[in-house]
Chain A
Amino acid sequence: MGLFQIILPYLLAGVSVGGQYALMAIGYSMVYGILRLINFAHGDVFMVSGLIMVYMAQALPLYLSIPAVILLTVLLGFAVERAAYKPLRSAPRMSVMVSAIAVSYLLQNLALYITGGLNKNYPAIPWVSDSITVLGATTKRVTIITPFLMLALVAGLVVLIRHTKIGMAMRTVAKDFETSQLMGIKLDRVISFTFAIGSFLAATGSMLYFSNYPGVIPTAGGMPGLKAFVAAVFGGIGSIPGAVLGGLIIGVCESIIKGMDTVLVHLGLIRSPLELATFSDAFTFVLLIIILVFKPTGLFGEKTTDKV
């Protein structure tokens, strides 16, 4: 077996999980862009979306439960914003952040109460969850679908933001609340819409993500949530292309670290595995520290416009 055959499954998995991080990272990034708020509840909305799917799939056929999950997740994101962030619109940013952390714990505990903390098996989505072989690597079809679906959604989002009226309003509100109001733009509507989009992407990401895992537990949103947040910071929080690139880079790096042992053994550089896979999570957070120290604005962080 060649080196390529060994690395390929890790690469595929990396691009796939990176695409899932990217879908979530956009939610962090857009909300930050508008409210300057790190929405700590985003990872838990992602987890709740997974649980909704678990329960929906028991009651409804998939062609109904999938749209229902998306709709309910969007409503959840909307409700979180209305209940926990909107009343604090003129409060200091720190208060809103504390409120976000509270929502995060609330959702986790609610999930704990409902599920009893047990692992809930995620339904297999036919076709999507099927195994396929790509260039000799065996993987689930969802691995291949994820990056393409993600890019299609991002393209749609970019068109929305660049070329529609609500997209223009999102861009003006992100820059200047007060002047946007003077244009007649209703802040609350734009903010709600932003949360709705973020939740929609989180719902899609959650279906792709949990299809690869055996089940959902109440803390299942924590790790992917944190990693997507790091991806957003890495790419430059507020920037959508940044969130996508950040997500993909983190996903691929993590996955390659997981495969490093196999590769090193294959190359004959080490005799026995070094258990490097244990460090794949640590990598992400070391990356966060490095970014914050050396380039806090990230890859595509807000640039200042120069006069010409």
Chain B
Amino acid sequence: MLKIEDLRVNYGGIEAVKGVSLEVPEKEIVTLIGANGAGKSTTLRAVAGLVKPASGHIRFDGKDITGLPAHVVVSLGITMVPEGRRVFPDLTVLENLKAGAYLRKDNIKDDIQWVYDLFPRLKDRSWQAAGTLSGGEQQMLAVGRALMSRPKLMMMDEPSLGLAPLVVKGIFAIIREINRQGVTILLIEQNANMALHTAHTAYVLETGRLIMQGVGKDLLKDEAVKKAYLG
């Protein structure tokens, strides 16, 4: 579904991504793990259209989307849950969800209900300003907001960041549920343990290069991965 070929991205004068190639098959959960500064976020940002790649190709459903602006990428069915959640703090929960459906002209009522079914907590708080939610609730809202664009592919940047372990568990359960309902997921995480348990396929990124790939559960047993990322 998503195919990245030899992607190179310069970021602030340095080459943050140095020739990454990876593939996200339809209906799968793929994870990209690696230490801070490995180039995970930059890779996602390049796909989302927030940064322009220096070279390489990004294809989505066979269409070359390299360097397209963010709003076009969203309209093609790729959405991103940004790092640190980035909900709109002054907007209500409901308005945040509506913002997620900004490009849609059809009826979004059913999808709001869908998101509320996934996250009943959001329904209770629909009139509250998003800035007043707890970290976990904000993450739910960020995911719900991303789903409102009816994506085929949802990219998630560090969904577990800064959340309590129990909340992280809940978020990952929801990720699997969303995936079961047909949304393909590309997930980047520093919490390698959780990510590898969840993902079908995993890639390991180190200083801008892919160093390993395989089935998520296999990587969990890999000695090198264990040593470097699972502690």
Interface majority SS (helix, strand, loop, mixed), chain A:
helix
Which among A169, A172, A182, A307 has the highest number of chain B CB atoms within 10 Å? A182
Q: Are B90 and A305 in contact, CB atoms less than 8 angstroms apart?
A: yes
Provide 26 A-B residue pairs closer than 8 Å at the C-beta atoms, listed in order of the A residue.
A165-B102, A168-B95, A168-B98, A168-B102, A171-B91, A172-B88, A172-B91, A172-B99, A175-B88, A175-B90, A176-B86, A178-B86, A181-B70, A182-B79, A182-B82, A183-B149, A184-B71, A184-B102, A184-B103, A184-B149, A185-B71, A185-B99, A306-B132, A307-B133, A308-B128, A308-B132
With both chains docked as a complex, state the minimum distance between the C-beta of B185 and any C-beta of chain A, in angstroms.
Answer: 16
Asked if B80 lies at the interface with its beta carbon under 8 angstroms from chain A, I say yes
Query: What chain A residues lie within 8 Å of B128 (beta carbons)?
Result: 308
Q: Report the nearest B residue to A179, measured CB to CB.
A: B86
Query: What chain A residues lie within 8 Å of B134 (beta carbons)?
Result: 307
Cα–Cα, bound, A272→B191 (Å):
80
Assuming A165-B102, A182-B50, is B132 touching A305 (CB within 8 A)? yes
Q: Report the nearest B residue to A176, measured CB to CB.
A: B86
Query: What chain A residues lie within 8 Å of B98 (beta carbons)?
Result: 168
Q: Report the nearest A residue to B79, measured CB to CB.
A: A182
- 13 more CB-based (< 8 A) A-B contacts, given A168-B91, A183-B74, A305-B132: A169-B102, A176-B86, A176-B88, A178-B50, A178-B82, A179-B86, A182-B50, A183-B145, A184-B70, A184-B74, A184-B75, A184-B149, A308-B132
Query: What chain B residues lie within 8 Å of A182 (beta carbons)?
Result: 48, 50, 70, 74, 79-80, 82
Query: What chain A residues lie within 8 Å of B170 (beta carbons)?
Result: none
With both chains docked as a complex, state the minimum distance between the C-beta of A159 and any C-beta of chain B, in angstroms.
Answer: 15
A-B CB proximity, top 8 nearest: A305-B131, A184-B103, A181-B70, A184-B74, A179-B86, A184-B71, A183-B102, A184-B102
Produce 1/0 per residue, A277-308, CB < 8 A to B: 00000000000000000000000000001111
**Size class of the B contact interface (CB-based, 8 Å):** 20 to 34
Asked if B100 lies at the interface with its beta carbon under 8 angstroms from chain A, I say yes
**Size class of the A contact interface (CB-based, 8 Å):** 20 to 34
Asked if A93 lies at the interface with its beta carbon under 8 angstroms from chain B, I say no
Asked if A266 lies at the interface with its beta carbon under 8 angstroms from chain B, I say no
With both chains docked as a complex, state the minimum distance between the C-beta of B46 and any C-beta of chain A, in angstroms.
Answer: 13
Query: What chain B residues lie within 8 Å of A307 (beta carbons)?
Result: 132-134
Q: Report the nearest A residue to B130, measured CB to CB.
A: A305
Query: What chain B residues lie within 8 Å of A306 (beta carbons)?
Result: 132
Interface residues of A (CB under 8 A from B): 165, 168-169, 171-172, 175-176, 178-186, 305-308
Query: What chain B residues lie within 8 Å of A176 (beta carbons)?
Result: 86, 88
With both chains docked as a complex, state the minimum distance between the C-beta of A192 and any C-beta of chain B, in angstroms.
Answer: 15
Asked if B35 lies at the interface with its beta carbon under 8 angstroms from chain A, I say no
Query: What chain A residues lie within 8 Å of B50 (beta carbons)?
Result: 178, 181-182
With both chains docked as a complex, state the minimum distance between the C-beta of B97 and any C-beta of chain A, in angstroms.
Answer: 11
Cα–Cα, bound, A38→B129 (Å):
28
Q: Are A175 and B71 in contact, CB atoms less than 8 angstroms apart?
A: no
Cα–Cα, bound, A183→B50 (Å):
12
Cα–Cα, bound, A2→B209 (Å):
85
Which residues of chain B (46-74) have a CB below 8 Å from chain A? 48-50, 69-71, 74
Query: What chain B residues lie within 8 Å of A308 (beta carbons)?
Result: 128, 132
Contact with A305, one of B48, B70, B89 (Cβ below 8 angstroms): B89
Which among A169, A181, A183, A306 has the highest number of chain B CB atoms within 10 Å? A183
Cα–Cα, bound, A308→B130 (Å):
11
Produce 1/0 per residue, B93-135, CB < 8 A to A: 0010011101100000000000000000000000011011110
Query: What chain B residues lie within 8 Å of A181 (beta carbons)?
Result: 49-50, 69-71
